[in-house]
Amino acid sequence: MYDHNEKAGNQGDVVKHTALLAAADAMITASSGDFHYADTFAGYAFNPLQSTGEWRYGIGKLWQSGSTCDNVNVTFWRDLWNCKPGLLGSVYPGSSLFIFKLCMSNKRNFRARLWDTSPAVIKQLMETYDKQQVTIYPRPARADDFTDCKPDLLLIDPPGLRSPYPGLAELLCFFDVVPNAILWFPRTAQGRGTPAPETEPSKKAKRECLLRGLSVTSVRWSNGIRTCGCRLAYNLPNAAAADALRSAVDEVVRLMKWDSIVEHE
C-alpha cells in the first residue's frame, strides 16, 4: 500500500512543494481574508526522514550541496525542513503543512479541506489540525465536493495515474469546478537510450492536459527508465501565481543540478 513517508522529500516533492508554495504565496499577496486551501490527496501533515527514504535523492542532495538562492519561495520551503546538523531523523512537511506555515508567516487564517483514504494519514491530520480550521474527509474527493464551496487553491496529488488510483480523466474533472488548481503527476520513460525515451502514456497525459487548456510544466531529473521526472498541469487565472510557480521550478531545478531543461507550455 502507498505510504508517502517513504517518498517524502524526494525529487517529485522538491518540484511540487516549491511550485505549490510559489503559487499560493502570489495568491495570498493578491487577496485578503481567510485563505481556503484544498488537497484531494492530502498525505501526512509531516513525514519522518528515515534511513531508507527517497529524500536522499531530493532534499538530501540539496542539503549536501549547501547551495542557496535568491528565490523567496524556494528559500521559505527550505527553511521549513532544513536542519543544519543533518536531515536523518528530522521531519519533512506535507503539502497542507507547507500552506499552513505560509499562512502563518503572512498572518492569514488557514482554512482547509483535506481528503485521504489512508487511516494512518487521517489520524495524523486529525491530531495536527484544529477542527475549526480544517475539515478532514476519510474518503476520495469528488468533483461535486466543490460545487458550492470553492477553495482559493486546490492541489491534486495522486500516488499515480494508474489503477487502483483515479485516472487522468477523473482528475481533470476537478478543473471544471475549481478555477485555481494544480495537478502533479509522474513522467515515465522506458527502453534504451540516453535519455531513455518517454513512454506513450506519459506523453499522452501531457497532450490531454494541454488540450484541456491547462498550462503544463515538465521536469526530467533522470535519463533512466520508470519515473524519470514529473509534470505540473495547472490553471491559475492569477498570472502572477503562474509566473511565480514557473520561476520557483526553474530555480529549484538549477539548485538540484538536474541536467534538464524545464519546459513550460
Ligand X SMILES: C[S@@+](CC[C@H](N)C(=O)[O-])C[C@H]1O[C@@H](n2cnc3c(N)ncnc32)[C@H](O)[C@@H]1O
Least Cβ distance, residue 122 to ligand X (angstroms): 9
Q: What is the residue whose three cell numbers read 482528475?
A: 171
Least Cβ distance, residue 77 to ligand X (angstroms): 12
**Burial (CB count within 10 angstroms: exposed 0-12, middle 13-18, buried 19+), residue 172:** buried
Residue closest to 204 by CA, chosen among 226, 231, 235: 231
Least Cβ distance, residue 42 to ligand X (angstroms): 6
Read off the C-alpha cell for 233.
Answer: 498541469
How many Å apart are CA 157 and CA 159, to the nearest integer? 7
Instruction: Indicate the residue type of 56.
Output: R
How many Å apart are CA 42 and CA 129, to the nearest integer? 13
Residue nearest to ligand X (CB): 43
Least Cβ distance, residue 12 to ligand X (angstroms): 8
How many Å apart are CA 4 and CA 44, to the nearest integer? 7
Tally the residues of the chain: 265
Residue (119 or 213) nearer to ligand X, CB = 119
Residue (23 or 213) nearer to ligand X, CB = 23
End-to-end CA distance of the chain: 34
Least Cβ distance, residue 207 to ligand X (angstroms): 23
Residue (41 or 76) nearer to ligand X, CB = 41
Least Cβ distance, residue 128 to ligand X (angstroms): 12
Q: Which residues contact 169 (CB under 8 A, 6 or more apart)?
A: 208
Other CB atoms within a 10 A radius of the CB of residue 23 amount to 28
Residue (173 or 196) nearer to ligand X, CB = 173
The residues of the shown chain that bind ligand X, judged by CB under 6 A, are: 2, 4, 16, 39, 41-43, 94-95, 115-118, 121, 140, 157, 159, 165-166
Residue (9 or 242) nearer to ligand X, CB = 9
Residue (121 or 245) nearer to ligand X, CB = 121
Side by side, the strands of the sheet bearing 181-189 are 134-137, 110-115, 35-39, 153-156, 181-189, 226-235, 215-220, 263-264
